[in-house]
């Protein structure tokens, strides 16, 4: 009983001491919080070092996305490269989990340290490809999927990618 009373008094005293501690609040619109470079905010689609869009429309991000907010349509260009005909992220559903970034084999989809995406109209939260695509490489500067993959496209035959051996003709028995 006495113990409880003393503990209450001690609580009151400890709280009173908080009059002299600084507030933790970040006064947001005037004072911006620090956002680490890998903060997971608004999503962008990046380009490879040659300026071509990186996304190969593999749909892996759409599969990985927990709330299913990515929609895209695959298309093929004349040079054999795949690209998304449309790429749509519904940011009113996105939970900024970063799963899409982890799933992406081409480093195309990346999250950026920007969270200020308020809109008065919910429809405006749906970002199309022209809103998502940026003119840069994002966090990975040298990576170009078509340069390292074995896929054949115009101007790059089988075996011509980085670190790739000449293809072996498996149908011939000759050494």
Partner 1 sequence: MSEANLPFIGAILLTVVGGAAVLTWFERRLLGIWQDRYGPNRLGPFGILQVAADMLKLLTKHDWIPPFADRFVFVIAPTAIVISMLMAFAVVPFGPDHYLIDMNVGLLFFLAMSSLAVYSVMLGGLASNNKYALLGGLRAAAQMVSYEVFMGLSLMGVVMLSGSFSLVDIVEAQQDGWYFIPQFLGLYVFIIAGIAESHRLPFDLPEAEHELTAGFHTEYGGMKFTMFMLGEYCGLILLSCMITTLFFGGWLGPFFPPLVWFALKTFGFVCFFILLRAAIPRPRYDQLMALGWTVMLPITLINLVATGAIALWMNQA
- How many residues make contact with partner 1 (CB under 8 A)? 15
Cβ pair 135, 67 in contact under 8 A: no
Give whole-number Cα distances, 125 to 92, 132, 160, in Å.
6, 12, 42
Smallest gap from residue 143 Cβ to ligand SF4 (A) = 12
Exactly one of 58, 132, 133, 161 binds ligand SF4 (CB under 6 A); that residue is: 58
Exactly one of 59, 126, 129, 151 binds ligand SF4 (CB under 6 A); that residue is: 59
- Each residue 114-153 as x (binds ligand SF4 by CB under 6 A) or -, in order, gives ----------------------------------------
Cβ pair 143, 113 in contact under 8 A: no
Query: Which range, of 6-14, 25-33, 92-100, 152-160, touches ligand SF4 by CB under 6 A?
Result: 92-100
CA 33, 130, 71, 93 dihedral sign is positive
- For residue 18, state whether it binds partner 1 (rule: CB under 8 A): yes
Cβ pair 45, 54 in contact under 8 A: yes
């Amino acid at each position: 009983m006495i113990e409880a009373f003393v503990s209450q008094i001690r609580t009151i005293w400890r709280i009173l001491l908080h009059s002299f501690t600084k507030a933790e609040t970040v006064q947001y619109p005037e004072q911006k919080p620090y956002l680490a470079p890998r903060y997971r905010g608004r999503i962008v689609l990046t380009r490879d070092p040659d300026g071509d869009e990186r996304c190969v429309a593999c749909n892996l991000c759409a599969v990985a996305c927990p709330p299913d907010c990515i929609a895209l349509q695959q298309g093929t260009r004349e040079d054999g490269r795949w690209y998304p005909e449309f790429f749509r992220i519904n940011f009113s559903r996105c939970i900024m989990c970063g799963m899409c970034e982890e799933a992406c084999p081409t480093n195309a989809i990346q999250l950026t340290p920007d969270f200020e995406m308020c809109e008065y109209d919910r429809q405006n939260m749906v970002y199309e490809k022209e809103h998502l695509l940026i003119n840069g490489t994002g966090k990975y500067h040298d990576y170009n999927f078509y340069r390292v993959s074995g896929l054949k496209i115009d101007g790059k035959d089988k075996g011509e990618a980085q670190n790739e051996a000449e293809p072996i003709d498996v149908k011939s028995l000759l050494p």
